[in-house]
A and B are shown apart, each in its own frame.
Chain A
Amino acid sequence: MNRRKGLVLGALTATAALTLAACGSSTSGSKTASTTSTASFNEGITKVVNPSNTKTNGTLTFDMAVTPDSTDYDNTYYAFMWDFVRLYSMSLLTYKSCPGACGEQLVPDLATGLGTVSDNGLVWTYHIQPDVKFQNGTVVTAQDVKYGIERTYAKNLLPNGPTYYQVLLGDTGYKGPYADPKTPLTSVTTPNSTTIQFHLLHPFSDFNYVVALPQSTPVLPSWDTGAHSGANFQLDPISTGPYEFQSYTLNKQLTLVKNPNWNPATDPQAKQLVNKIVVNMNMNQNTVDQNQIAGYADIDMQGLGVQTAAKAKILTTPSLKDNADDAINGFLRFAYLNEKVIPNVHCREAIEYAADKTTLQDAYGGSVIGGEIATTVMPPNIIGYKSFDLYNSTSMPGGDVAAAKAQLKLCGKPNGFNVGVAYRSDRPQDVAAASALEAALATVGIKTTLDGYPTGTYYSNYAGVPAYVHSHDLGIAMGGWGADWPDGYGFLDELSNGDTIASAGNTNIAEINDPTINSLFAQAANDNNAASRLAIWPEIDKDIMAQAAILPIVYQKVLLYRNPDVTNVYMDSYYGMYNYAVLGLK
């Protein structure tokens, strides 16, 4: 036969072979490169798995599919970073390192105790331990804590991070130490080198929680100069924790080594058990999952769980399932519905009714391991949660097309409208959710254009910049949120308080600026009575849902995998993932 016939025959044979190969299921009997563990499925939710205080010379490896918004503890707003920075920072207060509800308690870290507040509720005082040292041996003083807080005002260089200090302390003209080196921050005072006082504009009973955020980490001003000052501080932030930066190739790889000047007696919530910590960033999520199962990586830093292939492998292989935890992480997955881009509330309500919650839930892992369909903004674990359902999500989870169309008529667009959807294109679940939302909205005539952005700059450059959102017609933005601290204020404030709308790094992406909601927040802030405060949170929640500013999707559950070689692994209820500050190796 001639040359070409031979080619055709060869090609057909290859095709047949491929098809036959695909018909068989690909169980490639994965060999976990690790010792057997005695743990079981979901054990890490309530207990410490592999408890140990043994120091080893090993290297702990973190893999990450995205890049961090910043490694600067004054400039980051991702839960996984707040968890991770405790390896190289001590804030005034922190959360207790223990599993379960125990992990939501505040305990002193750099400070000697929880803050004391003056009679008029306006001055909070903290004393810091006198013998904590920076990585270079310099003793930490209260002025260094103040300097760290001053840095958070430099929003042009450090746009990420919460904005509680800016709202509570006043000093509205202050632009940070880089712009005003001479003008100090007047609302924070340091009577002596171990005392720091915060002068608030109005009483705020939750202030201890504010101080537990990473932003109260001390920063030595002489370290924040020259090549790594300002926005470059993240390349080598000065450490007060068990580890310090050895090298950081921006957004690619970070290496931490032991901090010789860290005194474990001053920082009982963290441990220094390994020699080195390596973080590999910007990888493919599937690769991260496979690395974990094969034992090449110890932890997936993002803490959002494994994707489809690894999920299937883990759930169907008993030995792998024993190393997994399917935990509620306290996060709400949702979509912001921007009130400026879609000004008419009925148009937004149409989106609420039309969304198909089952396909959205499938985007985040399905009903068994992905989490329950959400109908409120606050998830059930937040103090102040009350259940309600304004848009028939429980009775008609597939969407209520009739009600959606009725709402469209009320908003004057009976044939639908066009709108853009922002999402993080390097998070497969976000992509799936945006696609599912697009399909569901298309059934009622709402045509969406999907615009993907990277996780590292989503809040600083795109969805978190109101000007960009307006000019690009991004009426819908996918989002996820965990509480800044475990009560209603800590969950709802940065999401829905009109005061928190920022020009970059904005987390109130829906641009909710409702006088009723704002005054409820002010009322709660001033209220010292726990019971009456408790009643305010569900009211705010209902108001947000009534104005259809948030489309809740699921109260998230994540399927996390723990490498059996890692010690002290447990689910931290505050961060919603494993506690990174205490990990060691066998």
Chain B
Amino acid sequence: MAAPLEISPAEAEASPEDVVQGLSARRIEGRSLGQIAWLRLRRDKVAMGSAVFVLFLIAVAVVGPFFVQNPDTYHANLLNQTLLSPNGPFGGISGAHPFGIEPDTGRDVLSMVVNGARFSLIIAFLSTVLAVVIGVFFGIIAGYFGGWVDTLIARTMDVFLAFPLLVFAIALVGVLPNRTDLIGIALSGNGLRIVTLIFIIGFFSWPYMGRIIRGQTLSLREREFVDAARSLGARGPYILFRELLPNLWGPILVYATLLIPTNILFEAALSYLGVGIIPPTPSWGEMLSNAVINGYYYIDPMYMVIPGMAIFLTVMAFNLFGDGLRDALDPRSR
């Protein structure tokens, strides 16, 4: 004989209508894709932790520089006069300098890291936006129209992906001028350099996005809603931007989030090789570069560890968040 149904006292006294509607008297509604994804994401603790860290980083980049001292303040008095190394262990960590000071100059490492965050994140975000815009545009066109358009764009993407990016980027930054009057806006120094880096990094990372979007578009264009729209008289652009694009937000978001850490590393590599932000403006890659080239690693290893950790944690956070986002939006790819 089957076990009796477990009925709680509340249920035993409920009216039939209430039971059908659910005891909390809420209508049972279908959930939208977004809501389902959000709920799945919320349950993923690692992704949420990473998201919190990313938000913290953005906050540091935006308002951090106002809370730390000017990174260009030299503290020669805190250095050992013979070796010019920081007095005190762990690279001179103290109350006034929670991350220590830089050898040879005595600059505060915390403020250098916080200011460096700003450049790293701005360049990474904006170059990702650029890559996404170009990549989505060409990806959708290639995927939808097929034929020679697809061949042309796909082969172009292949060429870009085969390029030795870093070498080409170094060469390009080296030949660009130090000051220009670009479309009427006079840019010089770091301003121009940031714009240059955004364009170069964004320009070289669009194929990553383009290939993914092209693949997604290829599978989407066979779906019934595209046929339906076509039979209603819709033309190419309408289908592209009103039918296909809204269905691509998922992958776009995921891969954009996964593209950001790649671009952070790209910018750090360019700074490390000396073609990033112009010194003495601090940047994480440049701090690593100085640690190696000027030999700080020998007298003050913390000076290398700290920006290295900053890059590492940032990249890891974005990667984990992007992973979590992908799991939330498309669990089949797990």
Q: Is the CB of B76 within 8 A of A359?
A: yes
With contacts A362-B76, A428-B293 known, is A312 near B85, CB below 8 A?
A: yes
Q: Tell me the residues in window 139-196 of chain B with beta carbons closer than 8 Å to chain A beta carbons.
A: 178-179, 188-189
- Complex Cα distance, B295 from A365, in Å, reads 13
Interface string of B81-100 (1 = CB under 8 A from A): 11111000010000000000
- Complex Cα distance, B313 from A369, in Å, reads 39
> Is the C-beta of B323 less than 8 angstroms from some C-beta in chain A?
yes
- Complex Cα distance, B293 from A310, in Å, reads 11
Distance in Å: Cβ of B303 to nearest Cβ of chain A:
9
With contacts A307-B294, A425-B274 known, is A439 near B73, CB below 8 A?
A: yes
Sort chain A's interface into a size bin.
35 or more
Q: Is the CB of B279 within 8 A of A431?
A: yes
Q: Which residues of B contact A369 (CB under 8 A)?
A: 82
- Complex Cα distance, B46 from A392, in Å, reads 59
Q: Which residues of B contact A358 (CB under 8 A)?
A: 76
> Is the C-beta of A494 less than 8 angstroms from some C-beta in chain B?
no
> Is the C-beta of B18 less than 8 angstroms from some C-beta in chain A?
no
Interface string of A360-393 (1 = CB under 8 A from B): 0011011111000000000000000000000000
Give the A-binding residues of B (Cβ under 8 A): 46, 72-74, 76, 79, 81-85, 90, 103-106, 178-179, 188-189, 274, 278-280, 292-299, 301-302, 304-305, 308-309, 312-313, 316, 320, 323
Closest 5 A-B residue pairs measured CB to CB? A309-B295, A435-B280, A309-B298, A22-B301, A308-B295
- Complex Cα distance, B295 from A283, in Å, reads 15
Q: Is the CB of A307 within 8 A of B295?
A: yes
> Is the C-beta of A74 less than 8 angstroms from some C-beta in chain B?
no
Q: Which residues of B contact A432 (CB under 8 A)?
A: 104-105, 294
Contact of B72 among A285, A307, A368, A438 (CB under 8 A): A438
- Complex Cα distance, B83 from A425, in Å, reads 23
Most buried by B among A289, A369, A439: A439
Q: Tell me the residues in window 505-529 of chain A with beta carbons closer than 8 Å to chain B beta carbons.
A: none
Q: Is the CB of B293 within 8 A of A285?
A: yes
Q: Which residues of A contact B178 (CB under 8 A)?
A: 449, 451, 472
> Is the C-beta of A19 less than 8 angstroms from some C-beta in chain B?
yes
Q: A18-B309, A286-B295, A432-B105 are in contact. List 5 more A-B contacts (CB 8 A).
A: A4-B323, A309-B295, A362-B74, A435-B105, A472-B178
10 pairs across A/B with beta carbons < 8 Å?
A: A4-B323, A285-B293, A307-B293, A308-B104, A315-B82, A315-B83, A359-B105, A369-B82, A425-B274, A472-B179
**Residue of A at shortest CB range from B45?**
A5
Q: Is the CB of B84 within 8 A of A362?
A: yes
Q: Is the CB of B84 within 8 A of A365?
A: yes
Q: Which residues of A contact B179 (CB under 8 A)?
A: 472
- Complex Cα distance, B103 from A5, in Å, reads 38
Q: Which residues of A contact B312 (CB under 8 A)?
A: 15
Q: Tell me the residues in window 247-274 of chain A with beta carbons closer than 8 Å to chain B beta carbons.
A: none
**Residue of B at shortest CB range from A12?**
B316
Q: Which residues of A contact B82 (CB under 8 A)?
A: 315, 366, 368-369
**Residue of A at shortest CB range from B327?**
A4
Q: Which residues of A contact B292 (CB under 8 A)?
A: 286
Q: Which residues of B contact A315 (CB under 8 A)?
A: 82-83
Most buried by A among B72, B85, B280, B304: B280
> Is the C-beta of A284 less than 8 angstroms from some C-beta in chain B?
yes
Q: Which residues of A contact B313 (CB under 8 A)?
A: 15
Q: Is the interface of A mostly helix, strand, loop or mixed?
A: helix
**Residue of B at shortest CB range from A435?**
B280
Distance in Å: Cβ of A420 to nearest Cβ of chain B:
9
Q: Is the CB of A362 within 8 A of B79?
A: yes
Question: When A and B form their complex, what is the total count of cross-chain residue pairs whose Cβ atoms lie within 8 Å?
Answer: 118
Q: Which residues of A contact B103 (CB under 8 A)?
A: 308
Q: Which residues of B contact A311 (CB under 8 A)?
A: 83, 295
Give the B-binding residues of A (Cβ under 8 A): 4-5, 8, 11, 15, 18-19, 22-23, 25-26, 284-286, 289, 307-313, 315-316, 356, 358-359, 362-363, 365-369, 425, 428, 431-432, 435-436, 438-440, 442, 449-451, 472
**Residue of B at shortest CB range from A310?**
B295
Q: Is the CB of B293 within 8 A of A22?
A: no
Q: Which residues of B contact A431 (CB under 8 A)?
A: 279
Most buried by A among B103, B104, B106: B104
- Complex Cα distance, B74 from A358, in Å, reads 10
Distance in Å: Cβ of A224 to nearest Cβ of chain B:
33
- Complex Cα distance, B311 from A15, in Å, reads 12
Contact of B279 among A15, A316, A365, A435 (CB under 8 A): A435
- Complex Cα distance, B72 from A371, in Å, reads 24
Q: Is the CB of B320 within 8 A of A8?
A: yes
Most buried by A among B72, B90, B304: B72
Distance in Å: Cβ of B40 to nearest Cβ of chain A:
14
With contacts A11-B316, A439-B73 known, is A312 near B298, CB below 8 A?
A: yes
- Complex Cα distance, B296 from A148, in Å, reads 46
Distance in Å: Cβ of B304 to nearest Cβ of chain A:
7
- Complex Cα distance, B297 from A363, in Å, reads 17
Q: Is the CB of B309 within 8 A of A366?
A: no
With contacts A22-B304, A285-B293 known, is A439 near B72, CB below 8 A?
A: yes
With contacts A363-B104, A428-B294 known, is A309 near B280, CB below 8 A?
A: no
Q: Which residues of B contact A449 (CB under 8 A)?
A: 178, 188-189, 278
Distance in Å: Cβ of A7 to nearest Cβ of chain B:
8
Q: Which residues of B contact A307 (CB under 8 A)?
A: 293-295
**Residue of A at shortest CB range from B279?**
A435
With contacts A8-B320, A19-B305, A315-B82 known, is A309 near B104, CB below 8 A?
A: no
Distance in Å: Cβ of B311 to nearest Cβ of chain A:
12
Most buried by A among B72, B83, B85, B178: B83
With contacts A19-B309, A362-B84, A450-B279 known, is A5 near B74, CB below 8 A?
A: no
Distance in Å: Cβ of A451 to nearest Cβ of chain B:
6
Q: Which residues of A contact B90 (CB under 8 A)?
A: 23
Most buried by A among B81, B85, B179, B293: B293
Q: Which residues of B contact A366 (CB under 8 A)?
A: 79, 81-84
Contact of B294 among A5, A25, A308, A438 (CB under 8 A): A308
Q: Which residues of A contact B105 (CB under 8 A)?
A: 359, 362-363, 432, 435-436
- Complex Cα distance, B106 from A363, in Å, reads 11
- Complex Cα distance, B83 from A313, in Å, reads 10
**Residue of A at shortest CB range from B302?**
A22
Q: Is the CB of A26 within 8 A of B46?
A: no
Q: Which residues of B contact A472 (CB under 8 A)?
A: 178-179
Q: Which residues of A contact B305 (CB under 8 A)?
A: 18-19, 22
Q: Which residues of A contact B304 (CB under 8 A)?
A: 22
With contacts A308-B84, A358-B76, A363-B104 known, is A450 near B278, CB below 8 A?
A: yes
